[in-house]
C-alpha cells in the first residue's frame, strides 16, 4: 500500500485508455521532435575525432578537416538513402521492421539487437555529454559528474513513466534555440575569422599523405567522428506522426535535418581548426570554442545550457524508441510479454525502467565519461543503417516500382558505404570497447530465439485444439496444527468446499495429539481427524506420503486441495514471530502435480 502511494507520487494517477490520442506534427514541430538525437551529436563528434588524432601528436590535428568533409559526405548519402525509406514505408520504417520484411527474421533480429544496444548507449552518451557541457561551464561540479548523470537519467525516466504528451511544444524551444545559438556562434566565428577580429591559431598543416599518423589511426579518428550520424534515422521511424501528407513532410524535414547537421558539424570542425582548439579533460571543445569566440558572458552560458538541454532531449528520444522496439519484439514473441503491455499511464513502463537502469549502470561503470563510451556507440547504429539500406535495395529489386533502378542505386550506395564504415568502426575500435557490442549482438539474437521457442512450446502445450478435458475429482484436507479461531474458520471453509472434507494432523508429540483429540469433539464441527505419525518431527514427510496415497487411489485426475489455516498479524514484523510453516508447505507443494494449496487467512487486529 505504501509502495503504491510512492508509485503514484512519481508516476501520477492512472490514465484511461480513451485518453490515448495521436498528436500530429507540423514540419516545424516535427523537425524539433526528431532532430534532437541527430543534432545533439555535434556536441561531441568533432571532439572525439580530435581526441584520436592527438594521439599522433598535435601535427596530426589538422587531419580533422578532410575527415570532417568525409563525414559530411557520409551524412548526405545516409540522408538521401533514408528519404527513399520514408517513401516506401509511410507507416514508419524502423530498421527491425524494414529488415524483417525484406531480408527475413534473422537479419531483422540482428538489427533489433543492434538498435536496443544503441538506444541504451544513446542515453548514456547523451547524458554524459550533457553533463560535460554543464561541468565545462561550472568546473566545480566536475567531481560530482557521475551523480549528475545518474540524476539526469532518473529524472528523464520518471518523466517518461508519467508519459510526456506535450512533446511537440516541449521539444521545439530547446531544439531551435540550439540550432539558432550554434549557427550564431559559427557565423560570428566565421566573420571574426574573415575580418581578423578573433586571434586565429590554426593547427599546423598535416604532412603529405599519411605521414606521421598511419592509416589505422586515421580510420579510428574517422570512426569516432561518425557518431555525428547517430539519430539520423529517427525521422524515418516516425513518419506516421506527421500531418498529412506524412511521407512528403517527413522527407522535407529529413532534408532540412541533413543540411543543418552538415552545417553545424562542418562549422564546428572548421572553427576548432582555425582557432587551434585542442581537447581538454575538464572542458569540451564546443565550450572552448564558445569561450574563445564570444567570451565567458551570458551568450556562452546560454550555449552551454541549450547544449545540455538538447543532449537530454536526445536521451529522452531513446525512452520512446526503446520501449516501442521492445513492444514490437514482444508482439512477435521474441521478447518477454511484459514489454507488450502499457502501464496505467499509457506508457510502456517496463521498457522505460529497463532502459533507465541499463543506462545508469553504464554511466556508473564508465564514470560518466563520454570518451570511454564512444567506442561502444557507433557500431550498433551502423549495423542498423547497413541492414536497413540493404533491405531497401532488396525491396526495390523485388517490387520494380516506378524509378526502382535509380532508387535501388541510392540505397545500394548507402548500404555499401555504411557497411564499410561499420566494419571500419568495428575493427578500429574493437579493442577499445566495440568488442562488447560485437559479442552482445549474437547473444541477444540467441536470447530472442530462445524466448520465441519457449512461447511457441507453451502455446502448443496449452492449445485447446483437440483437447478433451478429463473430468476431475477433488478431495479437501484441512491441515491442523492446533485448535484456535483461525483453525475453526478453516474447517468451516473446507466444509463449504466439500461435504467430505477431512482434517489432517501430523503428530510430533503424542501428548499434544491426545489433548487435540479431546477438544476435537467440540470444535471439529463433525469433520473427521486423521492423525499421521512423524518419527523425524517433520511436518512435510508424513503429509506428502498421505497425499501420494490419496492420489494413487484417486487416479491421475484426482486433485488434492490442502486448506491451510493461517493467521495474519497486523504488523509486518509480527509475521517473523510465527512459524513459517505455511510458507514452507506452500513451497514444497508448489511443484507437485494435482495439488492445490489454499490459505485461509484469519486477520488479527493488533
Q: Which residue ranges make up the site for a copy of itself (CB under 8 A)?
A: 14-18, 336-338, 341-342, 344, 451, 454-455, 457-458, 461-464, 467, 469, 471-474, 483-486, 488-489, 492-493, 496-498, 508, 519, 523, 525, 535-538, 559, 561, 567-569, 574, 576-580, 590-591, 593, 596-606
- Complex with a copy of itself: residue 310 or 330, whichever CB lies closer: 330
Estimate to the nearest angstrom the gap between the alpha carbon of 132 and the chain centroid. Answer: 23
- Complex with a copy of itself: residue 248 or 489, whichever CB lies closer: 489
To the nearest 10°, report the CA torsion of 105, 91, 386, 49: -140
> How far are the Cα atoms of 187, 456, 457, 509 from residue 461, in angstroms, in the given order?
67, 9, 6, 46
Least distance between a copy of itself and beta carbon 328 (Å) = 17
Least distance between a copy of itself and beta carbon 15 (Å) = 7
Least distance between a copy of itself and beta carbon 523 (Å) = 6
Whole-angstrom Cα Rg for the chain:
33
Could you list the beta-strand ranges (E) of 249-344.
none
Place of cell 492512472: 14
Least distance between a copy of itself and beta carbon 563 (Å) = 9
| DSSP class of 334 | S
Least distance between a copy of itself and beta carbon 222 (Å) = 42
- Complex with a copy of itself: residue 16 or 143, whichever CB lies closer: 16
Long-range contacts, 144-149 (Cβ 8 Å, 24+): 145/367, 145/368, 146/363, 146/364, 146/367, 146/368, 148/368, 149/360, 149/363, 149/368
Least distance between a copy of itself and beta carbon 537 (Å) = 6
Q: In angstroms, rounded to a whole number, what is the distance separating the alpha carbons of residues 140 and 265?
A: 29
- Complex with a copy of itself: residue 202 or 336, whichever CB lies closer: 336
**How many residues in total does the chain contain?**
606
- Complex with a copy of itself: residue 215 or 584, whichever CB lies closer: 584
Start-to-end C-alpha separation, the chain: 18
- Complex with a copy of itself: residue 91 or 605, whichever CB lies closer: 605
Least distance between a copy of itself and beta carbon 531 (Å) = 16
- Complex with a copy of itself: residue 278 or 581, whichever CB lies closer: 581
Least distance between a copy of itself and beta carbon 351 (Å) = 15
> How far are the Cα atoms of 142, 363, 375 from residue 368, in angstroms, in the given order?
10, 5, 14
CB within 8 Å of 68: residues ≥ 6 apart? 46, 49, 225, 265, 266, 269, 270
Q: In angstroms, rounded to a whole number, what is the distance separating the alpha carbons of residues 410 and 393?
A: 9
- Complex with a copy of itself: residue 9 or 576, whichever CB lies closer: 576
3-class SS of residue 282? coil
Least distance between a copy of itself and beta carbon 107 (Å) = 24
DSSP H stretches of helix in 332-471: 349-365, 370-399, 404-428, 434-462
- Complex with a copy of itself: residue 162 or 248, whichever CB lies closer: 162
Q: Single out the residue of 320, 325, 261 nearest to residue 78, CA to CA.
A: 261
Q: Are 44 and 227 in contact (CB under 8 A)?
A: yes
- Complex with a copy of itself: residue 208 or 471, whichever CB lies closer: 471
Least distance between a copy of itself and beta carbon 326 (Å) = 13
Q: In angstroms, rounded to a whole number, what is the distance separating the alpha carbons of residues 110 and 206?
A: 40
Amino acid at each position: 500500500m505504501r509502495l503504491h502511494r510512492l508509485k503514484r507520487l512519481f508516476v501520477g494517477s492512472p490514465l484511461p485508455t480513451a485518453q490515448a490520442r495521436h498528436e500530429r506534427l507540423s514540419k516545424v514541430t516535427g523537425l524539433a521532435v526528431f532532430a534532437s538525437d541527430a543534432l545533439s551529436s555535434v556536441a561531441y563528434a568533432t571532439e572525439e575525432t580530435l581526441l584520436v588524432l592527438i594521439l599522433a601528436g598535435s601535427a596530426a590535428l589538422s587531419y580533422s578537416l578532410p575527415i570532417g568533409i568525409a563525414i559530411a559526405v557520409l551524412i548526405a548519402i545516409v540522408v538521401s538513402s533514408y528519404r527513399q525509406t520514408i517513401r516506401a514505408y509511410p507507416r514508419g520504417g524502423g530498421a527491425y521492421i524494414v529488415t524483417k520484411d525484406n531480408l527475413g527474421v534473422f537479419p531483422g533480429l540482428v538489427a533489433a539487437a543492434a538498435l536496443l544496444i544503441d538506444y541504451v548507449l544513446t542515453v548514456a552518451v547523451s547524458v554524459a555529454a550533457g553533463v560535460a557541457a554543464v561541468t565545462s561551464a561550472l568546473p566545480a561540479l566536475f567531481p560530482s559528474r557521475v551523480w549528475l548523470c545518474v540524476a539526469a537519467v532518473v529524472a528523464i525516466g520518471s518523466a517518461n513513466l508519467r508519459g510526456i504528451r506535450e512533446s511537440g511544444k516541449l521539444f521545439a524551444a530547446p531544439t531551435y534555440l540550439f540550432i539558432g545559438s550554434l549557427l550564431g556562434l559559427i557565423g560570428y566565428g566565421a566573420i571574426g575569422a574573415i575580418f581578423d577580429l578573433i586571434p586565429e591559431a590554426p593547427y599546423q598543416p598535416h604532412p603529405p599523405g599519411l605521414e606521421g599518423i598511419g592509416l589505422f589511426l586515421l580510420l579510428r579518428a574517422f570512426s569516432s567522428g561518425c557518431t555525428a550520424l547517430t539519430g539520423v534515422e529517427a525521422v524515418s521511424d516516425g513518419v506516421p506522426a506527421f500531418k498529412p501528407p506524412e511521407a512528403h513532410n517527413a522527407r522535407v524535414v529529413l532534408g532540412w535535418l541533413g543540411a543543418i547537421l552538415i552545417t553545424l558539424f562542418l562549422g564546428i570542425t572548421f572553427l576548432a581548426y582555425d582557432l587551434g582548439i585542442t581537447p581538454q579533460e575538464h572542458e569540451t571543445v564546443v565550450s572552448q570554442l564558445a569561450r574563445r569566440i564570444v567570451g565567458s558572458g551570458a551568450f556562452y552560458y546560454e550555449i552551454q545550457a541549450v547544449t545540455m538541454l538538447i543532449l537530454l532531449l536526445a536521451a529522452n528520444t531513446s525512452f520512446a524508441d526503446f520501449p516501442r522496439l521492445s513492444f514490437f519484439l514482444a508482439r512477435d514473441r521474441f521478447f518477454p510479454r511484459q514489454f507488450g503491455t502499457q502501464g496505467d499511464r499509457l506508457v510502456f513502463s517496463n521498457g522505460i525502467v529497463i532502459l533507465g537502469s541499463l543506462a545508469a549502470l553504464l554511466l556508473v561503470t564508465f564514470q560518466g565519461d563520454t570518451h570511454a563510451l564512444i567506442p561502444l556507440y557507433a557500431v550498433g547504429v551502423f549495423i542498423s543503417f547497413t541492414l536497413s539500406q540493404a533491405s531497401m535495395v532488396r525491396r526495390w529489386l523485388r517490387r520494380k516500382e516506378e524509378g526502382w533502378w535509380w532508387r535501388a542505386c541510392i540505397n545500394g550506395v548507402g548500404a555499401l558505404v555504411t557497411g564499410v564504415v561499420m566494419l571500419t568502426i568495428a575493427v578500429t575500435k574493437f579493442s577499445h570497447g566495440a568488442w562488447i557490442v560485437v559479442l552482445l549482438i549474437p547473444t541477444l539474437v540467441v536470447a530472442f530465439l530462445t524466448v520465441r521457442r519457449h512461447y511457441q512450446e507453451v502455446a502448443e502445450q496449452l492449445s485447446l485444439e483437440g483437447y478433451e478435458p478429463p473430468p476431475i475429482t477433488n478431495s479437501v484436507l484441512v491441515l491442523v496444527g492446533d485448535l484456535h479461531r483461525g483453525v475453526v474458520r478453516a474447517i468451516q471453509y473446507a466444509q463449504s468446499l466439500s461435504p467430505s472434507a477431512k482434517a489432517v494432523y501430523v503428530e510430533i508429540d503424542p501428548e499434544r495429539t491426545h489433548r487435540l483429540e479431546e477438544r476435537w469433539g467440540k470444535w471439529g464441527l463433525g469433520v473427521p481427524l486423521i492423525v499421521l505419525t512423524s518419527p523425524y518431527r517433520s511436518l512435510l514427510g508424513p503429509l506428502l506420503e498421505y497425499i501420494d496415497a490419496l492420489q494413487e487411489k484417486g487416479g491421475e485426475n484426482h486433485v488434492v486441495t490442502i486448506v491451510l489455516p493461517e493467521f495474519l498479524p497486523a504488523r509486518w514484523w509480527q509475521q517473523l514471530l510465527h512459524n513459517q510453516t505455511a510458507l514452507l508447505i506452500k513451497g514444497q507443494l508448489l511443484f507437485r502435480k494435482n495439488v492445490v494449496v489454499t490459505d485461509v487467512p484469519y486477520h488479527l487486529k493488533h
